[in-house]
Amino acid sequence: MSKLVTIYGGSGFVGRYVARRMAQQGWRVRVVCRRPNEALFVKPYGAVGQVSVEFCNIRDDASVRAAMRGADAVVNCVGILVQDGRNRFDAVQAEGAARVARIAAETGVARLVQISALGADAASPSQYGRSKAAGEAAVLQAFPKAVILRPSVIFGTEDDFFNRFATMAVRSPVLPLVGAETRFQPVYVDDVAQAVVKGVLGEAEGCYDLGGPDVETLRQLMTRMLTVIERKRPIVALPRFVGALIATAGDAVQAVTLGLVTNRVLTRDQLRNLYVDNIVAPEARGFAALGIAPVAMGAVLPDYLWRFRKAGQFEAIRASARNLRKLS
């Protein structure tokens, strides 16, 4: 019988790409998540019965253990960008990661891959970064041979980065930015999935910082995005205090409504991260050490941002028609 991998958060942005690649490797894939009824789209990634979907709450020992039964390898893709209800940074990204690693060690899982973040640092100004660092430390304490992957901002068809800003560009006459000069090194989601596969197959060990071939400021990234979607919008760099006002107001609304309204615009914790460069250090091990050539943004962004053009997929046809009229 083929080997089995359990992917926590396997229906999420990164997890679904990992699930697809592991199925292509011939492994049985168990995708576990909080809402399995919304994750059935992963089942066609493999042959009939090769990919299964199950419920799991990473905050609960029994739930995590049940999802890990019989697994030869485990991948933890669970992470949050905004705290919501009981899903707090420490509960999910520190305690949850520790729980997965501890149970993996107890049940004799051969390999464990933990998806962390490039901003993981015990001294990070943000709770997000500190919780990611705490998760890494707990994972390595319980499972010393675990592979830790720290990607920069991840882009791809389902991302919440370029898609979010492109939506803003469609709806607003200007594009306001907080932390416009902060540098990022966006990484393609399927490149991260390839790195995960290397870890599961035993072709990687230790920690890797993952960044794409392009290092650009947030302003430059937005200029690139606007070029792809063929829209002209002035980019307005907001002073830090304005960002603080927006974040404080959003957090206050979430607190006053007891979480009924979640602040998905800008939180105070995200604001702290927006002023810290998110790039791979020169001495860090990355894709080169894994034998992976990362894909450039220019090769991928047009494939999914075209829908934000004025005429969507027909924009090129309209442009061609306009040229014909000029020539006639």
User: Whole domain around residue 202: which residue ranges?
Assistant: 4-154+186-213+278-292
Q: How confident is the model at residue 326 (pLDDT cuts 50, 70, 90)?
A: low
Percent of the chain exceeding pLDDT 70 equals: 95
Rounded Cα–Cα distance for residues 302 and 307 (Å):
9
Name 125's Cβ contacts closer than 8 Å, sequence gap at least 6: 272, 273, 275, 276
Q: Is residue 30 part of a domain?
A: yes
Strand partners, 54: 32
For the segment 255-265, the average pLDDT, to the nearest whole number, is: 90
Please, is 67 exposed, middle or buried when counting C-beta atoms within 10 Å of its C-beta (0-12, 13-18, 19+)?
A: buried
Per-residue pLDDT for 1 more than 90?
no
Q: Is residue 261 part of a domain?
A: no
Q: Model pTM?
A: 0.93
- 254-268 burial, b at 16+ Cβ within 10 Å, e below that, comes to beeeeeeeebeebbb
Per-residue H/E/C for 182-243: CEECCEEHHHHHHHHHHHHCCCCCCEEEECCCCCEEHHHHHHHHHHHHCCCCCEEEECHHHH
Q: Is residue 315 part of a domain?
A: no
Say whether 47 sits in a helix, a strand or coil.
coil
Lowest mean pLDDT among 44-48, 233-237, 301-305, 323-327: 323-327
Find the helix or strand (DSSP H, E) in which 139 lies.
Answer: helix 127-142
Give the CATH number, domain containing residue 20: 3.40.50.720
- More confidently predicted of 85 and 207: 207
Q: Is residue 239 part of a domain?
A: no
For the segment 311-328, the average pLDDT, to the nearest whole number, is: 68
**What pLDDT sits at residue 246?**
95
Per-residue pLDDT for 283 more than 80?
yes
Rounded Cα–Cα distance for residues 241 and 178 (Å):
10
pLDDT digits (tens, 9 = 90+) for 49-71: 999 999 999 999 999 999 999 99
Say whether 32 sits in a helix, a strand or coil.
strand
Residue type, 1: M
Residue type, 269: D
Q: Is residue 270 part of a domain?
A: no
Task: For the chain, count helices (H), then strands (E).
Answer: 13, 13
Strand partners, 183: 217
**What pLDDT sits at residue 288?**
97
Q: Is residue 202 part of a domain?
A: yes
Q: How many domains does the chain have?
A: 1
For the segment 78-102, the average pLDDT, to the nearest whole number, is: 95
Q: Is residue 180 part of a domain?
A: no
Q: Is residue 18 part of a domain?
A: yes
221: closest CA among 294, 166, 286? Answer: 166
Tokens at residue 112, please?
């464990």
Say whether 108 sits in a helix, a strand or coil.
coil
Query: CA neighbours within 13 Å on the CB side: how many for 95?
Result: 12
Strand partners, 209: 150
